[in-house]
C-alpha cells in the first residue's frame, strides 16, 4: 500500500455542519449522538424563531462578500436597501462584508431593522458593523429557513456560489409550490443575463424545466421595479405580525 493509499487519521471537524454531514464516515472524530445532533438543530431553529418573531415585513438580500465598498454593486445594494427600508421593510442578510454590508448599511440609513444571519465557517469574517440584530447559525439549512420564512422576497445581487445556492433554493421552493407569491429578483442584468440565457437554452429548450419556470426569476436593474414587486406581494401574502397590529 502506497502512502497515498494509507487511510487518513480522523480529525476534529472544522464546523458543526461538517460534524453532521461527515458523521457516517471515519474522516472526523465526534462524540455526539444523533439524538444530540437533533437537539442541537431544534435549539437553533427555536432561537431563530424566537429572535425573529414579529419582525414584520422583510426582504432578504444576497450577494458577494468580496465586493469592495467603492464598487458600483455596493452602492446599488445600499441604495436599494435604503429604499426598501423607507417602505417599512426590514433587511435580512448573511451579516458579512461586501454586498451584505451594503444592504445592512442601507437599512440603517433608512432607520429600518438591519438583521444579520451569520454562519459558522472557518474563514468567516464575522458580522459587519451595520447589523443591528445579529444571529449566528451552525447549520446552513436552519439559516435558510429563516431567510425564507421571514422574508417577502429575495433580492439576489452579483455573487458567487453561496449567492447561487440561496437563489436556486428559493427557485426550487417556488417551482414546487412550497412557497407562493415570493418574488426572486436578480438585481443586475449585465451580471445575471448569461445565467438566465443558459436557463432558457439549453435547460428550458431541452425540457429540463417547464415553460415558465425561468420566469420565476425576475431580471432587473430598476429599484422601482423591485419596490413594485414587494409591494404587490404584501397584498397577496400578508404577514401575521402586520395583521395582528393592524
pTM value is 0.92
pLDDT of residue 33: 92
Query: What is the Cα Rg of the chain in Å?
Result: 20
Output the domain CATH number for residue 106.
3.40.50.450
Answer yes or no: is 39 within a domain. no
How far apart are the C-alpha atoms of 133 and 62, rounded to whole Å? 17
**Residue 74 is part of which domain span?**
57-237
Answer yes or no: is 74 within a domain. yes
pLDDT of residue 244: 39
pLDDT of residue 4: 57
Cell of 151: 422574508
Looking at the structure of the chain, the number of domains it has is: 1
Answer yes or no: is 28 within a domain. no
Q: Name 186's Cβ contacts closer than 8 Å, sequence gap at least 6.
A: 156, 167, 192, 195, 196, 217, 218, 219, 220
Answer yes or no: is 42 within a domain. no
Answer yes or no: is 41 within a domain. no
pLDDT of residue 223: 98
pLDDT of residue 245: 41
Positive or negative CA dihedral for 192, 118, 20, 15? positive
Cell of 69: 465598498
pLDDT of residue 124: 66
Answer yes or no: is 73 within a domain. yes
* 114-119, strands of its sheet edge to edge: 133-137, 114-119, 90-93, 58-62, 154-156, 184-187, 217-220
Answer yes or no: is 206 within a domain. yes
pLDDT of residue 66: 97
Of 104, 118, 110, nearest to 69 by C-alpha is: 104
pLDDT tens for the chain, residues 1 to 246: 555 556 678 888 888 888 999 888 888 888 889 999 999 999 999 999 999 998 999 999 999 999 999 999 999 999 999 999 999 999 999 999 999 999 999 999 999 999 999 998 877 678 999 999 999 999 999 999 999 999 999 999 999 999 999 999 999 999 999 999 999 999 999 999 999 999 999 999 999 999 999 999 999 999 999 999 999 987 666 766 554 343
How far apart are the C-alpha atoms of 131 and 117, rounded to whole Å? 9
Per DSSP, the three-state class of 117 is: strand
Q: How many CA atoms lie within 13 A of 110 on its CB side?
A: 22
Answer yes or no: is 189 within a domain. yes
Positive or negative CA dihedral for 12, 17, 21, 24? positive
Amino acid at each position: 500500500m502506497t502512502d497515498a493509499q494509507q487511510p487518513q487519521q480522523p480529525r476534529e471537524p472544522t464546523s458543526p455542519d461538517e460534524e453532521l454531514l461527515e458523521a457516517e464516515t471515519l474522516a472526523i472524530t465526534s462524540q455526539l449522538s444523533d439524538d444530540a445532533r437533533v437537539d442541537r438543530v431544534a435549539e437553533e431553529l427555536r432561537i431563530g424563531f424566537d429572535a425573529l418573531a414579529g419582525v414584520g415585513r422583510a426582504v432578504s438580500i444576497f450577494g458577494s462578500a468580496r465586493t469592495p465598498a467603492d464598487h458600483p454593486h455596493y452602492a446599488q445594494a445600499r441604495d436599494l436597501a435604503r429604499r426598501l427600508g423607507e417602505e417599512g421593510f426590514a433587511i435580512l442578510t448573511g451579516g458579512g462584508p461586501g454586498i451584505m454590508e451594503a444592504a445592512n448599511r442601507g437599512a440603517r440609513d433608512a432607520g429600518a431593522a438591519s438583521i444579520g444571519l451569520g454562519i459558522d465557517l472557518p474563514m468567516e469574517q464575522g458580522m459587519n458593523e451595520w447589523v443591528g440584530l445579529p444571529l449566528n447559525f451552525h447549520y446552513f439549512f436552519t439559516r435558510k429557513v429563516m431567510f425564507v420564512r421571514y422574508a417577502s422576497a429575495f433580492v439576489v445581487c452579483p455573487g458567487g456560489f453561496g449567492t447561487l445556492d440561496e437563489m436556486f433554493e428559493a427557485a426550487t421552493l417556488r417551482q414546487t409550490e412550497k412557497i407562493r407569491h415570493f418574488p426572486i429578483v436578480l438585481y443586475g442584468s449585465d451580471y445575471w443575463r448569461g445565467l438566465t440565457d443558459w436557463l432558457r437554452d439549453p435547460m428550458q429548450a431541452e425540457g429540463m424545466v417547464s415553460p415558465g419556470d425561468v420566469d420565476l426569476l425576475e431580471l432587473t436593474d430598476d429599484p422601482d421595479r423591485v419596490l413594485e414587486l414587494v409591494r404587490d406581494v404584501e397584498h397577496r401574502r400578508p404577514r401575521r405580525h402586520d395583521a395582528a397590529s393592524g
